[in-house]
Amino acid sequence: MTSAGESRRSSVAVVGLGSIGGVAAGVLAAAGRHDVFACARRPIARLTFEWQEGSVELSLPVLTDPAQAKPADWVLLCTKAYQTAAAGPWLSRLCTPATRLAVMQNGIDHLARAAPFAQGATIVPVLVYYNGERLAPDRVKLRRAGNFDAIVADNDAGRAFAALFQGTPLRIVLSEDFVTVAWRKLLINAVANPITALTLQRQAVLRRSDLQDLCRAILGEAVAVACADGARLADDEIALTIATLGNFSGELGTSMYFDRLAGRPLEADALTGAIVAAGKRHGIATPINGALLALLRAINDG
Q: Is 280 a catalytic residue?
A: no
185 to 7, 233, 242: CA distances (angstroms): 31, 12, 12
Q: Give 139's strand partners.
A: 48, 136
DSSP codes, the chain: ---TT--S--EEEEE--SHHHHHHHHHHHHHTSSEEEEE-SS--S-EEEEETTEEEEE---EE-SGGG----SEEEE-S-GGGTGGGHHHHHHH--TT-EEEE--SSS-HHHHHGGGSTTPEEEE-EE-SEEEEEETTEEEEE--SS-SEEEESSHHHHHHHHHTTTSS--EEEES-HHHHHHHHHHHHHHHHHHHHHHT--GGGGG-HHHHHHHHHHHHHHHHHHHHTT----TTHHHHHHHHHHHS-TT---HHHHHHHHTPPP-TTTTHHHHHHHHHHHT---HHHHHHHHHHHHHHH-
Out of 70, 80, 141, 185, pick the active-site residue.
185
Catalytic residues: 185
